[in-house]
Amino acid sequence: DAQASTTYVNPKLAELLGYSVEQMIGRAVWAFMDEADKPLAAANLERRRQGIAEQHDFKFLHENGKAVWVILNATPLFDPGGKYEGVLATVTDISERKRTEEATLRRNAELAALNQLAQALSKLAEPAALLELIYQVISPVLDNRNLYIALYDAAKQTVSFPVYSMEGRRIPWPGRRLSNGLTEHIIRTRAPLLLTRNLMASARALGITPGRELRSYLGVPMLAGDRVVGVIAMRDHEREDAFDPGHQEMLSTIASQSAIALENARLFAETERLARTDALTGIANRRTLFEAGARELSRARRFGHPLSALMLDIDQFKQVNDTYGHARGDEVLHVLAQRCQQHIRESDLVARYGGEEFVILLVETELRGARSLAERLRDLLAQTVSDTGEGPLQVTVSIGVAATNGETVDFAALLQRADEALYAAKQAGGNRVEVQQS
């Protein structure tokens, strides 16, 4: 009528929206619409008063809350005297068409996101950057604010959670040893897990203990060949039907791309580590030493900080190899390197220089402090005993100490001075520390 109250509703429309005719009579038509469409429907009322007939797509809400899309044709009604009496509206259900359109739009968005992800993943080598990119792609495309990415460490039998989002907020989440949770089930079965209705009961039937109450869960493994890299999962605490096979297909595609990228990043990092590490002792190699030395010398000059170097050599090492064999000699090198590594600061560096010679780079350390550390290391290493199978083996070391001064032109010059001090220590009988004063 003229006041926008419904005076007639046919049974078909009432059935379409899940109401009785009596429930709809006397209420404005926009009372049954989605909130977003109500302003447009109310605004169009004035155009009806002006005699304008129109049709629009509107989103109504079924009594159960589900969307019902319709085309609403509105024709204004006037009495013989031209007075506005109301509107005659006919409604056509287009819900199926809208669902198809929305599915097409969603699929196009997913394909665009997958293409974007594939291109970006191929350019990144840092795992942290890869994980952040994956999170940024998944959240909007799959419209989920509760997701996590878990990484699996097979050697340690642990899972970590570098990405964990709850209601759109990134929060730190502790790692753990493998248990019988949802994540671990996916790792063990190497298969996706989609749980919707009766989630908790379904999980328990699989021998899974969810960490907290959930209504829907979707998790897929990240597989690189035969290796499980980790798990990508989404959760919903309110809706039982939050995820479907379409979500699973999309998430599985993302997981597949992500696993390959993360595995490539791991292999790249491992290759870089091997290129910078001495294979025998597990400490930094000569290349890493000179790169770090040049960098720290530049930093020391810029900020006026001291920089010191210790050059260390095992006394009479040839006799160790000749007496006990090269395998025992290698063991001595490894033990010595690890002892040195354990007794320096995180900011310092111990590296194998070559043969039985090692260099320890001490940042922001003056000559006195460097000599003090050298004496402690000499004493410590002299007390280190290796079991040869033929009795205990003890070795001693000689150490040369040098620090930067106004004449230190480059890192090689600093090492040369430490080497000269080492030579003096060896000439004096070994098992001693000598300092290159200038």
- The residues carrying an active-site annotation are 356
Tell me if 206 sits within 8 A of 181, measured CB to CB.
no
**How far from the centroid of its chain's Cα atoms is residue 415's Cα?**
41
Distances (CA, A) of 50 to 8, 67, 308, 394, 397: 22, 31, 90, 105, 102
For strands 397-403 and 433-435, give the pairing. parallel
Q: Cα torsion for 321, 325, 329, 335, to the nearest 10°? A: -150
CA atoms of 318 and 152, how far apart (whole Å): 45
State which amino acid sits at residue 233: A
CA neighbor of 45 nearest in space, from 8, 82, 91, 76: 76
